[in-house]
Amino acid sequence: MRHAIYPGTFDPITNGHLDIIERALNVVDKLTVVILINRKKKNLLSIEERVELTKQVVSRYPNVEVASFSGLMVNFCKKINAPLVIRGLRAVSDFEYEYAIYLMNRKLMPSTDTIFLMSSQEHSFISSTIVKEVASYDGDISGQVPPEVEKMLREKFSKN
């Protein structure tokens, strides 16, 4: 069984992330979406909110699990016996950063490999950061995020 992880902050999960998840499922048998706890990032959603929201959104995929993790990705790969990492690339500017991470992961754990998937054209401009900014000004984000995410963001920003 080919098992991969798809790590990210997912603050929040977007239709771009879902596109990568769906396409990754054409390559692997099982996918674990790993929501990373990065203390250097200031997130809008708590880790609990991100995990719960992501679980809701991916519940239609029986071979997708959601987990959270703090630490090195390769340690999580080893822990759940997933030798593949899925990474989405929106633009050439993403590649340099992702390639450096790939090289470090291979150095730390040579048995781990990375599959890079290019974003579909219709999702290449979507980022969680932009989605949050547009939502904070009550802009239309319906085409960029699943309905559960849009609802949660509307609730979050209506409290401010």
Count the neighbouring beta carbons within 10 Å of the beta carbon of residue 35: 25
pLDDT, residue 160, reads 61
One of 50, 87, 119, 128 is an active-site residue; which one? 128
> Could you state, in chain order, the average pLDDT of each consecutive group of 10 residues for the chain (160 residues)?
95 96 97 91 93 97 96 93 94 85 94 93 88 95 95 87
pLDDT, residue 40, reads 81
Residue numbers of the domain that contains 95: 3-124
Sheet holding 113-118, edge to edge: 64-69, 30-36, 3-8, 84-89, 113-118
Residue 110 maps to which CATH number?
3.40.50.620
pLDDT, residue 8, reads 94
pLDDT, residue 58, reads 97
Say if 75 falls within a structural domain.
yes
Q: How many domains does the chain have?
A: 1
pLDDT, residue 128, reads 93
Say if 62 falls within a structural domain.
yes
Count the neighbouring beta carbons within 10 Å of the beta carbon of residue 27: 13
Has 59 been annotated as catalytic?
no
One of 30, 78, 90, 106 is an active-site residue; which one? 90
Say if 116 falls within a structural domain.
yes
Has 2 been annotated as catalytic?
no
pTM score, two decimals? 0.93
One of 39, 41, 42, 60 is an active-site residue; which one? 41
Has 90 been annotated as catalytic?
yes
pLDDT, residue 121, reads 85
